[in-house]
């Protein structure tokens, strides 16, 4: 095998690309990961809230997340390599899903699926929410609105009667470090990483993929290429000439997450949990230094801005900052409105139904792990296993189109239904069409 010839090339060293590389390397495949950035995890992963939760709208989505959580709990064994930067820590705070008004809610569907599937959870009534989270105001304020709407300022209409708490949920506070950990794990198993290495073409030979060409002229070869390019995934699919062959498409959506100090007197670092709040259209979690991260749950009143992933506004929009932080003020009294706006702007790689695509393509040897839609950080480990199982099965002759692969998660033994994440599925009507997936 020459220095520019590999068993598999992975495009992207984010958390999903890193997990695919580690998994393939662990199974003895000679992998090359190429990334145009100077270091691992410098794409959308760097700004991820990295919340680990199980509140998905489908059995397949919940299974992937449930299995994925076990990797975070068992991180040191999974990586099984030294990292001079240290290993990430999993903060198992638990997650509370607040039940907004109305019967047909995402929270109600999630609760029904958790009951059917046996996902451990507690039902909290209003008194329990107040007792366990005294910093939370459990009033009903919804539906979500923007502060420019007079109705935003109206008095609460009632109280939240129920919340669903999963104790195994939590977050990772340094998502970029998790990618470095994955890189070191893959390298220890023989994987190679090239940074500042931008793919400019996906190359074919004899009707199948044969490698990639980089902006600097290098052209590494491999019979397998995996597109894990995050918000740039559609551009790589266009290079491979498979974009038009897929029923489900992906595009880059601009998103903001705001970073605010905890209310006075609340040690959110110690007592804070992650909360999904559809009543206000936000989610939040503790961040180191007694801060809180606030994201949007994509309520319909928030504008959606699809962008060119190489040209978009990277400073915070004052009105979006106000919307998210004022909503959080209603749930967390005393939070206030900091004079200095802090937060991040980054991109989701959104698929048509906000469910990822983990699949082969019409180009033999070319695979995709894309469309992660703002919600797949948590699934890196389980997606890595699923992709490696898929690649090995298809390369061994399995017809995944006719007989969609179902594999067992190595930790929990749940079914990972690869076919559910097909590029050619019909748009899933049960999807929340939001970051909830």
Ligand X SMILES: Cc1cc2nc3c(=O)[nH]c(=O)nc-3n(C[C@H](O)[C@H](O)[C@H](O)COP(=O)(O)OP(=O)(O)OC[C@H]3O[C@@H](n4cnc5c(N)ncnc54)[C@H](O)[C@@H]3O)c2cc1C
294 sits near ligand X (criterion: CB under 6 A) = no
Nearer to ligand X, 262 or 274 (CB): 274
Residue at token pair 């939040």: 284
What's the rounded Cα separation, in Å, for the pair 347 and 373? 9
Q: Which of 31, 44, 57, 166 binds ligand X (CB under 6 A)?
A: 44
Residue 306: CA count within 13 A, CB half-sphere? 11
Q: Which stretch binds ligand X (CB under 6 A): 24-32, 120-128, 201-209, 345-353?
A: 345-353
Retrieve residue 272's tokens: 């804070």
Inter-CA distances, 112 with 84, 103, 140, 260, Å: 44, 12, 22, 34
Q: Which of 43, 142, 297, 371 binds ligand X (CB under 6 A)?
A: 43
111 sits near ligand X (criterion: CB under 6 A) = no
CB of 70 to ligand X, least distance (A): 15
49 sits near ligand X (criterion: CB under 6 A) = yes
Indicate the length of the chain as a whole number: 437
Nearer to ligand X, 198 or 241 (CB): 198
198 sits near ligand X (criterion: CB under 6 A) = yes
229 sits near ligand X (criterion: CB under 6 A) = yes
Q: Which stretch binds ligand X (CB under 6 A): 28-36, 111-119, 320-328, 422-430?
A: 28-36
Show contacts of 26-31: CB within 8 Å, 24+ apart: 26/189, 27/388, 27/392, 28/190, 29/224, 30/1, 30/6, 30/190, 30/191, 30/192, 31/6, 31/7, 31/186, 31/190, 31/191, 31/192
What's the rounded Cα separation, in Å, for the pair 11 and 228? 5
387 sits near ligand X (criterion: CB under 6 A) = no
Q: Which of 36, 184, 221, 327 binds ligand X (CB under 6 A)?
A: 36
50 sits near ligand X (criterion: CB under 6 A) = yes
Contact 254, 308 (CB under 8 A): no
277 sits near ligand X (criterion: CB under 6 A) = no
Nearer to ligand X, 104 or 310 (CB): 310
Residue at token pair 């539906």: 143
Rg of the chain in Å (alpha carbons):
21
Contact 152, 281 (CB under 8 A): no
405 sits near ligand X (criterion: CB under 6 A) = no
Contact 56, 62 (CB under 8 A): yes
What's the rounded Cα separation, in Å, for the pair 53 and 86? 24
392 sits near ligand X (criterion: CB under 6 A) = no
Q: Which stretch binds ligand X (CB under 6 A): 35-43, 116-124, 128-136, 240-248?
A: 35-43
CB of 34 to ligand X, least distance (A): 5
Retrieve residue 132's tokens: 């366990």
Q: Which of 90, 135, 348, 358 binds ligand X (CB under 6 A)?
A: 348
What's the rounded Cα separation, in Å, for the pair 177 and 392? 28
Q: Which stretch binds ligand X (CB under 6 A): 84-92, 130-138, 226-234, 396-404?
A: 226-234
Retrieve residue 398's tokens: 């399995």
Contact 36, 197 (CB under 8 A): yes
Q: Which of 138, 191, 211, 230 binds ligand X (CB under 6 A)?
A: 230
Q: What are phi and psi of 430, to 5 degrees?
A: -85, -5
Nearer to ligand X, 70 or 378 (CB): 378
Nearer to ligand X, 198 or 322 (CB): 198
Q: Which stretch binds ligand X (CB under 6 A): 31-39, 70-78, 139-147, 418-426?
A: 31-39
CB of 79 to ligand X, least distance (A): 16
11 sits near ligand X (criterion: CB under 6 A) = yes
Q: Which of 8, 9, 10, 13 binds ligand X (CB under 6 A)?
A: 13
Nearer to ligand X, 49 or 186 (CB): 49
351 sits near ligand X (criterion: CB under 6 A) = no
CB of 35 to ligand X, least distance (A): 4
Nearer to ligand X, 126 or 192 (CB): 192
What's the rounded Cα separation, in Å, for the pair 298 and 187? 38
Burial class (CB in 10 A: 0-12, 13-18, 19+), 345: middle
> Which positions lie near ligand X, rule CB under 6 A?
11-17, 34-37, 42-45, 47-51, 198-199, 228-232, 255, 257, 346-348, 372, 374-378
């Amino acid at each position: 095998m020459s220095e520019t010839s590999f068993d598999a090339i992975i495009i992207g060293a984010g958390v999903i690309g890193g997990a695919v590389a580690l998994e393939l390397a662990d199974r003895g495949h000679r992998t090359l990961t190429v990334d145009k950035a100077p270091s691992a995890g410098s794409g959308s992963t760097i700004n991820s809230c990295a919340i680990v939760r199980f509140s998905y709208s489908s059995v397949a989505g919940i299974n992937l997340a449930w299995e994925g959580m076990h990797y975070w709990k068992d991180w040191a064994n999974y990586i099984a390599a030294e990292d001079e930067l240290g290993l990430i820590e999993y903060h198992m705070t638990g997650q509370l899903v607040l039940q907004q008004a109305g019967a047909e809610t995402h929270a109600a569907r999630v609760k029904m699926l958790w009951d059917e599937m046996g996902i451990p959870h507690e039902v909290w009534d209003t008194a329990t929410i107040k007792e366990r989270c005294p910093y939370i105001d459990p009033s009903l304020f919804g539906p979500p609105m923007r502060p420019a709407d007079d109705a935003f300022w109206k008095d609460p209409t009632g109280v939240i009667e129920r919340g669903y708490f999963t104790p195994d949920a939590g977050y990772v506070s340094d998502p970029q470090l998790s990618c470095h950990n994955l890189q070191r794990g893959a390298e220890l198993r023989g994987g190679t990483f090239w940074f500042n290495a931008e793919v400019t073409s996906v190359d074919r030979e004899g009707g199948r993929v044969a490698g990639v060409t980089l902006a600097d002229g290098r052209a590494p070869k491999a019979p397998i290429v995996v597109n894990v390019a995050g918000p740039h995934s559609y551009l790589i699919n266009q290079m491979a000439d498979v974009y038009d062959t897929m029923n489900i498409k992906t595009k880059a959506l601009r998103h903001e997450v705001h970073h605010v100090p905890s209310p006075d007197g609340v040690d959110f670092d110690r007592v804070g949990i992650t909360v999904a709040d559809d009543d206000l259209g936000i989610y939040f979690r503790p961040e180191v230094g007694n801060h809180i991260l606030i994201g949007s749950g994509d309520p319909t009143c928030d504008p959606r801005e699809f962008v060119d992933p190489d040209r978009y506004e990277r400073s915070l929009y004052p009105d979006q900052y106000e919307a998210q932080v004022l909503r959080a003020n209603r749930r967390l009294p005393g939070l206030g409105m900091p004079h200095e706006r802090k937060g991040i702007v980054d991109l989701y790689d959104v698929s048509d139904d906000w469910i990822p695509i983990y699949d082969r393509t019409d180009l033999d040897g070319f695979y995709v792990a894309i469309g992660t839609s703002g919600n797949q950080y948590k699934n890196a480990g389980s997606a890595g296993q699923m992709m490696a199982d898929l690649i090995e099965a298809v390369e061994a002759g399995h017809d995944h189109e006719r007989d969609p692969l179902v594999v067992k998660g190595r930790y929990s033994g749940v079914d990972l239904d690869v076919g559910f994440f097909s590029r050619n599925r019909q748009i899933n009507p049960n999807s929340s069409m939001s970051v909830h997936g």
